[in-house]
Chain A
C-alpha cells in the first residue's frame, strides 16, 4: 500500500527518488522543483552586443530529467544561442566563472530538493490524522525558519504543501556526522542517502545494529513531545546495550569513509568538529528551541571551502522540535544526543565530552543553567 499526496506535490514525488522510509514520513530526493526554463531572447533587443565565447554561460543548467515541454517550444535553439544577451565582454565572463566557483548554490533553478511526505496513518482516525499532520508540518517549517532567521545552520524551506503533507527542504550537500564517525555497521552502504530528514531515525539506528525496531516507542510520540523524548531515551538505552560494532578506534578514529577523508584533507579534526557541533547546538538552544531528535545522523557537515572554518555543521530534521520551557528540556535534548553518541559510536565517550564542553556553549546563555539538570538526568537514568 503506497500513499501518494494530492495536488501539485504528487507529481513532484513521482519525479523523485525515495531515500528513506520512516514511520512518520517518507523522504524523497528531487532534482528540482521546477522544470528547466525555456529561454527566449528577442533578436532585436537592445541587448544584442554579445560575444559568442561567453554566451553558453548564460544558459540555465538543465536537469537530467527530460523536459516534458519540448513539443511546445517552437523556438529554434540556434536562434536562442545567437540571440543571447548582453554585456558579456571577456572580462565579464571570467568574473562570472569566478563567481560560480565561490558561490556553491548558483544555478538555483535546478537546486536539489528533499521532499518529506507525512503520509496518512491508517491507525488514526482520519480527521485526527489530518490535523496532526498539518500541525506537525507547520511546526517543523516554522522551527526551521526561526532558526534560519537567528543564524542557526539549517536547511532552507522551499515548498510547503500543508494540504498534501509535503515539505520541501534544501538538500544539504555533505555527510552526516554519523557517516564521518563511521557509525553503524551499514554506514558505508547508506552512504549518500544520509541526508535523510525522516523521523524514524531510531528505527534505522536499531536496524543498523541489529535489534528489533522500536515502532512501539515511535507510536508513543503521538502524545506530547515530552513523551516522545522519553520514549526516545528508552529506545536509545535498549539499543546501547546490544551494540557491538565499531568502525572507530579509541581516540585516533580511523578516517575511512568519503566524508571523513574530505574533512581530513581540509584539515579538520574530529575534536574541532565536536566543538562546532556544540556551538551549533548552543545557538539552537539559545534561541529557545529544543531539537527533540538529536542524533549524529541529524547533523550534516557541509564543506565551505575558502570560508571561515572551511566547513559548517547543519542541523536537520526538526520534526520533533518544540520550544523549551524548562532547563530540563534542553538537558533532555543533550541527553538524547549523548545516548545517540554512545549507541551509534561506542568508544566515543571522549567525543561527546567535546560536544558538551561548556566552552562550546560560550556564546549562549545556557551554559550556566544547562549543565546541572543534565547531570541530574544522567544520574536519574542510571
Chain B
C-alpha cells in the first residue's frame, strides 16, 4: 500500500492512499454494499458510506502506475475548492466518483462507473482513498474489512499483466493508433508504451476539454 501526502494541496484533499489487490473474491458483495450505502438514509447511511468511502477502480483498465497517478493529480487539481469554501468543487458527488469520471474519455458518469468502476467480475481492484492525512494502517484496516483479496505492490500495474488491453483500446479508442504503430513496424512493447503515453496525455487534458 502506498500513501502520498502533497504539501501543495489543501489539507482536506492532500493525501492519496492506494492499495492494489489481486485475486479479489467478493466483488459482487462489495458492489451490493456500495449500492446499499448510497441508498441508506440518516446516521446509519452515513456510517455505511464512511465504511466504503473509497474509489474502487477496475484495475484491468489501468495501464500503468503513472496512468493512475496522473488521473488522480488532475482530478484533485480540477476539483480545488473555491476560495470561500473548503469542500472540493466536483461535478459528481465526491472526489472518488470524480476520479472515475476523470479516468473516463467522455463526460458520462454512468459510462465511467461501468468502465472504470468495480463490477461483479472484478478480480483486480485498485482501492483509492483521497482526503486528509492519516495513518495508512487505519486506511488499510478499513479496506481489509471490505475487500477479500491479496495486497500486492503497485509495481504490478507497470508489469503489464493486469491491464486488459482489448478493453482499454475500446474504451479509449486506441485501435487506430494501435494499427498505425504496428504498421510502422514497432514491436509490442513500443506499441504499449506509446498507447500508455496517449492515454496519459488525454487524461491530463480532460478538465480543459
**B136 engages A40 (CB within 8 Å):** yes
Within 8 A of B (CB), among A1-37: 7-12, 33-35, 37
B65 touches A109 (CB 8 A): yes
Known: A42-B144, A157-B204. A47 touches B150 (CB 8 A): yes
Q: Which of B150, B180, B190 is A304 in contact with, Cβ under 8 Å?
A: B190
The answer to the question of B94 belonging to the interface, with a C-beta cut-off of 8 Å to chain A, is no
Find the B residue at minimum CB distance from A144: B201
Nearest 5 interchain pairs by C-beta: A11-B8, A40-B136, A108-B66, A37-B2, A8-B8
Q: How many residues of B contact A (CB 8 A)?
A: 55
Evaluate contact between A109 and B1: CB separation under 8 angstroms: no
**Could you tell me if B200 and A35 are in contact, using CB atoms closer than 8 angstroms?**
no
Would you call A109 and B69 a contact (CB within 8 A)? yes
Asked if B40 is at the interface (CB within 8 A of a chain A CB), the reply is: no
**For chain A residues 149-186, which have a beta carbon within 8 Å of chain B?**
149-151, 156-162, 168, 170
Q: What are the residues of chain B within 8 A of A74 when measuring CB–CB?
A: 135
Q: Are B200 and A72 in contact (CB under 8 A)?
A: no
Chain A interface (Cβ < 8 Å from any Cβ of B): 7-12, 33-35, 37-42, 45-47, 58, 60, 68-69, 72, 74-75, 84-87, 96, 99, 102-103, 105-106, 108-109, 111, 137-138, 141-142, 144-145, 148-151, 156-162, 168, 170, 304, 307-308
Residue pair A308, B185 in contact (C-beta under 8 Å): yes
Binds A, one of B44-52, B53-61, B84-92, B151-159: B151-159
Q: What are the residues of chain A within 8 A of B187 when measuring CB–CB?
A: 307-308
Q: Is the CB of B80 within 8 A of A45?
A: no
A-B contact pairs, 14 of them (CB 8 A): A34-B6, A34-B73, A41-B1, A60-B2, A106-B158, A108-B66, A109-B66, A111-B66, A137-B208, A145-B201, A159-B77, A160-B77, A304-B190, A308-B185
Cross-chain contact of A39 among B1, B144, B180, B198 (Cβ < 8 A): B1
CB-CB < 8 A to B151: which residues of A?
41-42, 45-47, 85-86
- On whether the beta carbons of A8 and B66 are closer than 8 Å, the reply is no
Q: Is the CB of A162 within 8 A of B190?
A: no
Residues of chain A within 8 A (CB-CB) of B186 are 307-308
A283 to chain B, nearest CB (A): 9
- Taking a contact as CB atoms closer than 8 A, the residue among A37, A158, A307 that contacts B190 in the complex is A307
Taking CB atoms, residues of chain B closer than 8 Å to A11 are 7-8
Q: Is B193 an interface residue (CB 8 A)?
A: yes
A180 CA to B207 CA, complexed, in Å: 37
Binding site for A on B (CB under 8 A): 1-9, 18, 64-66, 69-70, 73-74, 76-77, 80, 133, 135-137, 140, 144, 150-153, 155, 158-159, 174, 177, 180-181, 184-187, 189-190, 193-194, 197-198, 200-202, 204-205, 207-209
- CB-defined contacts of B197 to chain A, threshold 8 Å: 148, 156, 170
Q: How far is the CB of A21 from chain B (nearest CB, A)?
A: 23
Instruction: List the B side residues contacting A105 at CB < 8 Å.
Output: 66, 193
The contact of A160 among B76, B150, B207, by CB within 8 Å, is B207
Chain B minimum-CB-distance residue to A68: B7
**A8–B137 contact, CB under 8 A?**
no
With contacts A156-B201, A159-B73, A308-B185 taken as known, whether A108 is within 8 angstroms of B65 at the C-beta atoms is yes
Residues of B within 8 A of A96 (CB): 155, 159
User: Nearest Cβ in chain B — how far from A298, in angstroms?
Assistant: 18
- Identify the interface centre among B9, B144, B159, B201: most chain A CB within 10 Å of its CB: B201
Nearest-neighbour CB distance to chain A for B152, whole angstroms, equals 5
A142 x B8 contact (CB < 8 A): no
4 new A-B contacts at CB < 8 Å, known A35-B4, A86-B150: A34-B69, A103-B193, A307-B187, A308-B190
